Structure 1
Amino acid sequence: MKITVTGTRGIPNIMGGIETHCEELFPRIVKKGFDVTIIRRKSYVKDYISEYKGIKLIDIETPKKKSFEAIIHTFKAIWKAKAIKTDIIHIHAIGPALLTPMARLLGMKVVFTHHGPDYDRDKWGIIAKIILKLGERLGTKYANEVIVISKVINDLLVKKYNRRDCHLIYNGVPEPEICEFPEYFKELGIEKDKYILGMCRFVPEKNLHHLIEAFTKTEHRGYKLVLAGDTDFEDDYSRKLKETARKNGVVLTGFIKGKKLHSLLSNTHCYVLPSSHEGLPIALLEAMSYKRPVIVSNIPANLEVGLKQENYFKVGNIQELSQKLQANLDSTYQKVEYDMSPYNWDNITEQVANIYNNINK
């Protein structure tokens, strides 16, 4: 069975939650015997390879403009999927899902994964929000099968569209790669267990500016704040965030993967995610897999992870976040045992493969 994937910028080593999701999921899908092609956005690609872990990669030119790159790419990807005789096109995210009816009209089965109501993100204007909401509607109504990554999203689709047969399949997290990287820590000017880690894209809804402000209010006594990540599109927010970070002695790593990222996760005193919008945050799950203490905002997607009450603070409440940070800094580090069983990639792969196999029955 031939599967074509769109709605992602591409893999491997491309920043983003959906990109991480696809990079973990689809090599495992290939091992299940499926023929998988991922159609990438050429403007994000730096490797120019045609295959990755058994997945065929096709690069398509699209303008690197946040307002319409996804929809143009998806339009081209659907035609390419038809040309290569795809059985199932798997569309990720609500923006690309706008073209679900087109894929159906061209005779392909559609699986749509809803990663979160992106129209709630601060970066989108009124017109973009309307288009994203329409994409959610068309994807939900016309996809053969719908996957949701959280119960929050499932409840949303039941309430708005009365779609009651969605498949709840959580994001996964791989086995942690515990490691040390003293040379990298020396380069960053940090010490093991002497820093707080924020790890995400530099976009407004992640509220990293709140984290910086909250951290500056603590008595951090030699601890540093490290922000790992960057932005896809440099804008006023990301420029101001970086400027504020540098003025306050925050360590900026840029976008990192591999040993650098693993070493930061292995040795942080605490991971913090202050965001106002999430689907199901892979970065949080990764931090949990490393058994690190976490402090996160009390938005529904974070609450669904089921942490203890002391791990949460009211979203946007900088004073409360600062108090939680101070309590963490004042405590001796202790590893935390989380239940990671719902986020096992092999189990997730089995569930997705069953959807593919049953779609024609």
Structure 2
Amino acid sequence: MPGGATASMPASVYRELPIERRRVMMLGLRGIPNVQGGVEKHVEMLAGRLIAHGWDVEVVGRRRYLAVPAPHSWNGIRVTPLWSPRMMALEAIVHTFLGVCYAALRRPDILHIHAVGPALLVPLARLMRLNVVVTHHGYDYDRQKWGAFARRMLRAGERMGMRLAQGRIAISRDIADTMGERYRVPVSLVPNGVTVSRSSSETGILGEFRLTRRRYILLAARLVPEKRQIDLIQAYAKLGNSGFDLVLAGGAEFAGVYEEEVRALASRVPGVVLTGFQTGDRLAELFANAALFVLPSSHEGMPIALLEAMAHGLPVLASDIVANRQLGLPAGDYFPLGNVDALSSAIAEKIANPPDEQEVLAQTERVEAVYSWSSVALKTLDVYRAVTK
């Protein structure tokens, strides 16, 4: 046809061009799904919500932590394993370096780096012309496991992340305010969320460890010094024959002195049960049937495990560190960090006065309303849009 055939083509031939989905790559964590750690839980839950909002999400994990060693899809999320050395001091930084190089090839709209250690590679990401968002999950240089050099590197990572990333997120008000004052940059507050798995099926974990419903005290945390499992075991031992077990759910990433100390002390105190790392329905069943949740830690960013316990309606006890205090719990839910006698007395008071059903329901509803992952996703997307506009 003169003038071009397309001029008289029927409308049915035309198709609406697909809208290109934005892509975000998550880096700085061990991986997902069901990998132990607060950052890992945060990314697992956030990524699913971002998918629902029309984003493509790729999570770059450390191969040795992942069940599938090759790139694969999980719940619509692309999970890409990369090699990392089996050395505590080098694992995160080497993996993040490889991840940034991989991101330079993949060219996501956003490279979202989690935690201050991996943020040490933000300058490299910027040199590669990537749009970078950093989430500050806590003052990792305060963790007891690090030596002087590692602490300096973590502080340098915080500085690089806060000064050079285009978008900055903090998971608590204290971190957001401190970073804003320290580096004179805007930092968005996006707290952790919580979700409660209410599976009606029994996994058998209570029978496996000979536990009785509402007759055990629970701590779910990695076996690392800042979680202070030893304080909790010592406080539990002071209760004597209380009729309650103490369940410590969690494992260690690397074999070390602290893990050995926890296991040795647990073996000497009757009633202490070490379950190892638990996740999914098995962990949910431990939460759902506990009498009390205790978090005696000396370091937290924003304690997801404590939020999960509260969302299950459990009475809780937490050390009086800033991160725990910012949840605004009643005074009776806190005890002085490291005070074993005070912790023991507080445990005795809690198990002697369990909450009624109305108190449990009210707590569950409040936590789920305030700390929803849907809200976390929306606030995170606000940061992404500001960076890519």
TM-score category, normalised to shorter length: over 0.9
Aligned to 2:5: none
Aligned to 2:256: 235
**Which blocks of at least 5 consecutive residues in structure 2 are unaligned?**
1-21
Query: Does 2:332 match 1:325?
Result: no
Structure 1 residues 232 and 255: CA distance shift in structure 2, 3 A: same
How many Å apart are 1:240 and its aligned residue?
Answer: 1.2
Aligned to 1:345: 373
Amino acid of the residue matched to residue 386 of structure 2?
N
Query: Does 2:51 match 1:30?
Result: yes
Aligned to 1:75: 97
Query: Does 2:107 match 1:103?
Result: no
Query: Does 2:63 match 1:42?
Result: yes
Q: Deviations over 1:68-118 (max 9, x none)?
A: 111100110011011012221000000000011111110111000000010
Structure 1 residues 304 and 51: CA distance shift in structure 2, 3 A: same
Give the CA RMSD over aligned residues: 1.4
Q: C-alpha separation between the residues in 2 aligned to 1:73 and 1:255? A: 23
Q: Which residue of 281, 290, 295 maps to 1:273?
A: 295
Q: C-alpha separation between the residues in 2 aligned to 1:91 and 1:264? A: 32
Q: C-alpha separation between the residues in 2 aligned to 1:197 and 1:330? A: 16
Q: Deviations over 1:32-69 (max 9, x none)?
A: 11121111101111233611111111111110211011
Q: Deviations over 1:256-284 (max 9, x none)?
A: 11221111111111000000100001000
TM-score (norm 1): 0.97
TM-score (norm 2): 0.90
How many Å apart are 1:219 and its aligned residue?
Answer: 3.6
Query: Does 2:233 match 1:205?
Result: no
Q: Deviations over 1:114-149 (max 9, x none)?
A: 000100000000000000000000000000010000
Q: Is the 8 A contact 1:195 1:223 kept in 2?
A: yes
Query: Does 2:272 match 1:264?
Result: no
Q: C-alpha separation between the residues in 2 aligned to 1:64 and 1:183? A: 33
How many Å apart are 1:184 and its aligned residue?
Answer: 2.1
Q: Which residue of 54, 73, 79 maps to 1:57?
A: 79
How many Å apart are 1:183 and its aligned residue?
Answer: 3.1
Q: C-alpha separation between the residues in 1 aligned to 2:152 and 2:241? A: 44
1:359 is paired with a residue of what secondary structure?
A: helix
2:204 is paired with a residue of what secondary structure?
A: helix
Aligned to 2:215: 194
Structure 1 residues 245 and 180: CA distance shift in structure 2, 3 A: farther
Point out 4+ residue stretches in structure 1 off by more than 4 angstroms. Answer: none
Q: C-alpha separation between the residues in 2 aligned to 1:232 and 1:113? A: 22
1:328 is paired with a residue of what secondary structure?
A: helix
**Which blocks of at least 5 consecutive residues in structure 1 are unaligned?**
none
Q: C-alpha separation between the residues in 2 aligned to 1:353 and 1:162? A: 23
Aligned to 1:216: 237
Query: Does 2:33 match 1:5?
Result: no
How many Å apart are 1:181 and its aligned residue?
Answer: 3.2
1:157 is paired with a residue of what secondary structure?
A: helix
Sequence identity (%)? 39
Aligned to 1:183: 204
Aligned residues: 360
Structure 1 residues 213 and 126: CA distance shift in structure 2, 3 A: same
Q: Is the 8 A contact 2:26 2:57 kept in 1?
A: yes
How many Å apart are 1:333 and its aligned residue?
Answer: 4.5
Amino acid of the residue matched to residue 387 of structure 2?
I
Q: Which residue of 164, 177, 180 maps to 1:158?
A: 180
